[in-house]
Amino acid sequence: MDLLLTPFVVFAGALAIAGILYLWGRALAPPAAPGGHKQEMYTGGEAPRGGDVRPSYAFFHTALFFTVLHVAALFVVTAVGGPSVILALLYLGVLVVALAALVRR
């Protein structure tokens, strides 16, 4: 019974079930008919506007800020004690410098 609960066996079983469901869904689905409006972009029920769209990376800095904070929180929580706490504090110091550079920009 312990062999059935090993991670490799559980992963292989989940992968097999997912493959069976995929093949079953493929057999049930109607054949694809490309063409017409299926090849067009869909933007909330409206036709997309023409012209060159330039992406804005303003949100990237906010996302990077919160990613760094989450990584720091995970790192601090997993620091057990002893010498690893000193490394965690050193790592936090580097993160503070990185966040200061990110915010100052």
Q: What is the pLDDT of residues 59-75, one digit of tens each?
A: 787 888 888 888 888 88
Nearest to 37 by CA among 24, 28, 48, 29: 48
* CA-based torsion, 49, 53, 58, 59: positive or negative: positive
Measured CA distances, 74 to 20, 39, 69, 87, 105 (Å): 36, 43, 9, 14, 25
Confidence of residue 105 (pLDDT cuts 50, 70, 90): low
- Domain boundaries, given as residue ranges, for the chain: 1-31, 58-105
The model's pLDDT over 44-61, given as tens digits with 9 standing for 90+, comes to: 767 767 777 677 777 787
- Of 71 and 39, the structure prediction assigns the larger pLDDT to 71
* pTM summary value: 0.42
Q: How far is CA 3 from the centre of its chain?
A: 31
Beta bridge partners of 46: 43
Residue 92, pLDDT above cutoff 80: yes
C-alpha–C-alpha distance, residues 64 and 74, integer Å: 15
